[in-house]
Each structure stands twice: as C-alpha cells, then as structure tokens.
Amino acid sequence: MMLSLEIFLFFFKIAIISFGGTVAILSEMERMLVNEHHWITHEQFIQTFVVAQFVPGPNTAMSPMIGYMVNGWSGFFAAFLGTFSAPIILLGLLYWAYKRYSQLLWVRRLELSLRPVIVGLMMASLFRLWWAQSNPGFQSVIFRTTAFAIGFLAIWLYNKKLIKSLDLIFFMGAAWVYVNWGILTVVR
Amino acid sequence: MSNAAISTPNKKKWFELCFKTGAFAVGGGGRILIYQEFLVDDHGWMLLEEFREAVTVTQVAPGPPFVNLATYLGFKLTNVWATIVGLCLLGIPGPLVGLFIMHFVNLNSRGMTWLFQGFSLGSILIFAIFAWNMATGLTSTENKKISVAKKKLIFRASVAALVGGASLLGLPFMMALIGGSIAGLCVEFLS
C-alpha cells in the first residue's frame, strides 16, 4: 500500500514538472527511477520506453507499465492515477479561468500570441518524428521513394474523404508491410 | 472543413471517441486530428477556431499535452465525471497493450518492424495535416477589434519559424516556450 502511494506521488510529480510531454524529462525520470528509488533497472527502463512507442493512446503508457513492474496491478493503477490526476486538477482550474475570462480582449490576444509558438513547436516535433524514421532499413532511395508515394496516396484518399485519420494509420501500416514484402520478393 | 452548426455533445459518443483513440490510435503524434475530425467535422460539437484555441491553451500547460487537451475538452463538452471516465478509456488500453507486447510479441521480427514503421508514417502524416491546420489558424482572430494586417501575419509566421528552428537546434522546450511567448506577446500587443 505504501509502495503504491509512493508510485502515485512519483508519477504525480512527474506529470506536473513535464512541460511538452514525458520525453522532455525522460533522463530525469530515469535517474529517479533507476538511481534514486532503485525500482527498475536501466534495461527495463529502455525496454518500457521502446514498447511504449508502439502502443495506442497518449504518450503516457510508460508510466502504468513501470508501475506494474514495480508493484503489480496496484502499481499499475497507482501510476495511472498519478499521471492523470495532475492534468485533471490543473486543467480543471485552467478551464474554469479561461472560460471566465476568455471574452476579455487582452486574454484573446494572449491566446493568439501563443499560437505561433505552438505552431513552431509542432513543426519542430514533426520534423523530429520524420527524422527519427531514418533508421538503416529506411535509408535506401527505393524505400524512401516508396514511403513518399504511399504517403501521397494516403493523403489523396484522406482529402477525397475516402478514409479517416485512424484508417490512414492502419492503411499506412498494411501498405508498408505489403510494399516491403513485395520489394524483398522482387530483390530476391 | 465544416464549421457550421454546433450540436449538443453526447457522453456516449465522447466515451466512444476516447476509447477509439486510447485503444487504436497507434504511432504517436496524430491523435489530435482524430479528435478534431470527430468533434468539429463529424459531430459539430465545437467550431474549428474553438478547437485551435483549446490546443493552444493546453499545450502550454504543464503535463502530458494530449492528456491536457482531452481533459480540457472533456470539461468543455461534458462534466467532471464524464471527463474522468473518458480519461480512463483513453489512458488504460495503451499500457495494457504494452504489457501484452512485452510478454507475447517479438518486436524484432521483420513483419512487426514493418508494421510499426507503417503506423509511425501514418501517424506522422496525420500530425502533419493537423500542424498545417494549426498554421492556417495563424491568420484568424475571430474578433473584429484585433487586426490581421499582413505585417502582423508575417511577424506571427516569423515567431513560429524562429521557435521551430531554435527547438530543432536543441533549445530546451521551456526556453523555446518562454522566448517564443515573449516574442508573440510583442507581436500581438505592440505591432
């Protein structure tokens, strides 16, 4: 029970200090989990991080998975509650304040002044995500060209409203397996 | 993009959206567009401009950005309890799938690598579509008292480019956020 409370408080703190997502405080999180609390090993941390990249939903999947490793299902839910209760409290206050004052001209201007910052940060994230795909299997011209071609086809289907955003992800998954398998068969 | 009528939000549909995103939106990055599509285009629960506003406000708050957005929208469209249930539906399936993968799936197999590469590519594409939607939002104000003169639009685009560039060059998130916000405030209040 005590351990679950500690897990809850740990992830609550992490959620509060993380600006821009968990990735921004990954090294600090590892230091605290591995060196300070000795809850998991460095290898377990890396393994959890890698698997968390493949799962659906928000980028917070890592926290309950670590909670489970430390203290079973009780740890899983403690970490989940810790991660999600911070946004509920903070965003509850923010929503209340914004709803109350959003009609004021200077508040509207304040929101508009933040927009270019968010657009800039999004574009940077987008570029980083794209760059992260440049692993060795992806570097050859044929694979990159194929990726662009399938990407354009997917965007075309989306713009024609033939598929929705979630379908687009699955379309790309299926198309990428099919094309890679096809290329390898032809090369052989 | 239909910005026409605002209809009354429905809790069951809200839960459906949260569960669909929590259980199926793999690849990271593109989940915001799924929300925009569902709330603005499909059900007309809010205007595109309101959605952009929610994204801007929640991305600068501490905490995981997408959870922040889902919480804010939950409060805006439903009530506290529906927001909490929605967050559970959004946040629990992912780690369960993660634990399943850790125990039963060989991520090193070629087929799995291709599948997840494809998911990531798809996710990047829908994130790109949403980022473009946000960028076009730089031209709007929804308030006649705030001018959108060409000079101001150029300044806004310059701030976005500077923040993006600085972030890519390794400037920490907080520094980019604070520096960019100061520049953005100067553009909005002084130009």
Q: What ipTM was predicted for this assembly? A: 0.84
Mutate to test the interface with A, among B1, B112, B126, B136 (most CBs of A within 10 A): B126
Across the interface, which of A50, A105, A121 has its CB nearest the CB of B163? A121
Cβ-count burial A107-144 (b if 16+ within 10 Å, e if not): ebbbbbbbbbbbbbbbbbbbbebbeeeeeeeeeeeebe
Query: Residue A8 pLDDT more than 60?
Result: yes
Across the interface, which of A58, A65, A108 has its CB nearest the CB of B90? A58
Query: Residue B16 pLDDT more than 90?
Result: yes
What pLDDT, in 10s, does the model give residues A131-179? 776 555 555 677 778 888 888 899 899 888 898 888 888 898 899 888 8
Interface touch A19/B118, C-beta < 8 Å: no
A50 CB within 8 Å of a chain B CB: yes
Residue A99 with chain B: CB contacts under 8 Å: 76
CA–CA separation, B158 and A120 (whole Å): 9
Counted residue by residue, chain B has a size of: 191
CA–CA separation, A129 and A123 (whole Å): 10
Interface touch A64/B173, C-beta < 8 Å: no
Tell me, what's the pLDDT at B28?
63
> Which B positions 153-172 lie with beta carbon below 8 A of chain A?
156-157, 159-165, 167-168, 172
State the pTM of this model: 0.85
Residue B87 with chain A: CB contacts under 8 Å: 84, 87-88
Tell me, what's the pLDDT at B111?
85
Interface touch A117/B128, C-beta < 8 Å: no
Q: Is the Cβ–Cβ distance between B158 and A117 less than 8 Å?
A: no
Interface touch A169/B25, C-beta < 8 Å: yes
Is the model more confident about A92 or about B6?
A92
Query: Residue B3 pLDDT more than 70?
Result: no
Residue at B73: amino acid letter: L
Place of tokens 């979630």: A166
Residue B117 with chain A: CB contacts under 8 Å: 133, 137-138, 176
Overall average pLDDT of the A83-106 stretch: 89
Overall average pLDDT of the A86-92 stretch: 90
Residue A113 with chain B: CB contacts under 8 Å: 181, 184-185, 187-189
How many angstroms separate the CA of residue B106 from the nearest CA in chain A? 11
